[in-house]
Amino acid sequence: MKFDRLRRFDFIRDGLTLAAYDSGGDGLPVVFQHGLCGDARQTAEAFPDDAALRLITLECRGHGASQSGEVFSIATFADDVAALIEHLGLPPVVIGGISMGAAIASRIAVRRPELVRGLVLARPAWVIKPAPNNMRPNLEIGELLARLSADEARAAFEASSTHALLAREAPDNLASLLGFFDRQPVAVSSALLTAISADGPGIAEADLTDLAIPTLVLATGQDFIHPLGHAELLARLIPGAVLKALTPKGVDKPAYLADFHTALGAFLKDI
């Protein structure tokens, strides 16, 4: 879906102005959340352009056009999204997201089941445990930005073993991570990367096995930050979950997006 199809409006919570986006219409409401240090453009790009679907996205605190505040956690972000769903007076929605957005979605599905009729977990970076090893590159960059200038932090990272590993095994992850050194404000980027990398969805395995809603899990290979094993485990734990493999983004981004649109569109048509 083209980003310019979304109408932006302000959502006030805890005294902060958060940027929310809505494609409008009478279609199936789908609340779809971006990843760490992403924004609504990421979710719009991944979402199929279909008048039968209504895309709603909230830019989390410290992301996009939303104010930051002082608290960055998956639980806080999930509470903000749940509050937006209630504010809009929506019926139970399909909740989903990419990476951090998937962790937010899984938490809402578990903690606020009355709000959710379907679940989409795209390229999940968490299952249940906090501070998973796959998030260490984000943590490393957050810590570098906390003690060095952006240019110095980038130079230190480029000389690291993490940079060498990602250059070999996950070039798309590396490209995204390098973009964090140009992200402003630097202090907010550092705080987000360190806090969220050490966090988790705050749910248990039993919570996932108790879910009774249609669930789609999307995954790719060649992705260190979003391991295929996380997606496979989630698909095994959640009863009836469907796992779909996408073309790796680093191999062919247009094919990745086409696969994403097809898989998500087909899933949503059946809900």
Q: Do 238 and 167 sit in the same domain of this protein?
A: no
Is the pLDDT at 114 greater than 90? The verdict is yes
Domain count, the chain: 2
Residue type, 228: L
Q: Do 210 and 118 sit in the same domain of this protein?
A: yes
Average pLDDT over residues 132-138: 98
Per the prediction, the chain carries an average pLDDT of: 97
Q: Do 67 and 7 sit in the same domain of this protein?
A: yes
The reported pLDDT for the residue numbered 249 is 93
Q: Do 107 and 224 sit in the same domain of this protein?
A: yes
Query: What digits encode the pLDDT tens for the residues 155-190?
Result: 999 999 999 999 999 999 999 999 999 999 999 999
For residue 116, give the CATH number of its domain: 3.40.50.1820
Rounded CA gap, 161 and 265, in Å? 39
Q: Do 152 and 254 sit in the same domain of this protein?
A: no
Q: Residue 112's Cα: distance from chain center in Å?
A: 18
Query: What digits encode the pLDDT tens for the residues 50-78?
Result: 999 999 999 999 999 999 999 999 999 99
Is the pLDDT at 33 greater than 90? The verdict is yes
Q: Do 83 and 151 sit in the same domain of this protein?
A: no
Helix (H) or strand (E) holding 112: none
Q: Do 57 and 95 sit in the same domain of this protein?
A: yes
Rounded CA gap, 42 and 179, in Å? 14
Q: Do 9 and 87 sit in the same domain of this protein?
A: yes
Establish whether the linkage from the previous residue to 185 is cis, with ω within 30° of 0: yes
Query: What digits encode the pLDDT tens for the residues 223-267?
Result: 999 999 999 999 999 999 999 999 999 999 999 999 999 999 999
Rounded CA gap, 58 and 56, in Å? 7
In terms of residue numbers, what domain contains 153?
133-194
The reported pLDDT for the residue numbered 43 is 98
Q: Do 29 and 113 sit in the same domain of this protein?
A: yes
Residue where one domain finishes, among candidates 148, 165, 194: 194
Is the pLDDT at 88 greater than 90? The verdict is yes
* DSSP structure string for 224-260: SSS-HHHHHHHHHHSTT-EEEE---TTT-HHHHHHHH
Is the pLDDT at 45 greater than 90? The verdict is yes
Q: Do 36 and 122 sit in the same domain of this protein?
A: yes
Task: Assign 91 a pLDDT band (cuts: 50, 70, 90).
Answer: confident
Residue where one domain finishes, among candidates 157, 173, 194: 194
Neighbours of 25 (CB within 10 A): 12
Q: Provide, rounded to the nearest whole percent, the portion of the chain with pLDDT above 90.
A: 99
Helix axes 74-87, 100-111, angle to 10 degrees: 60
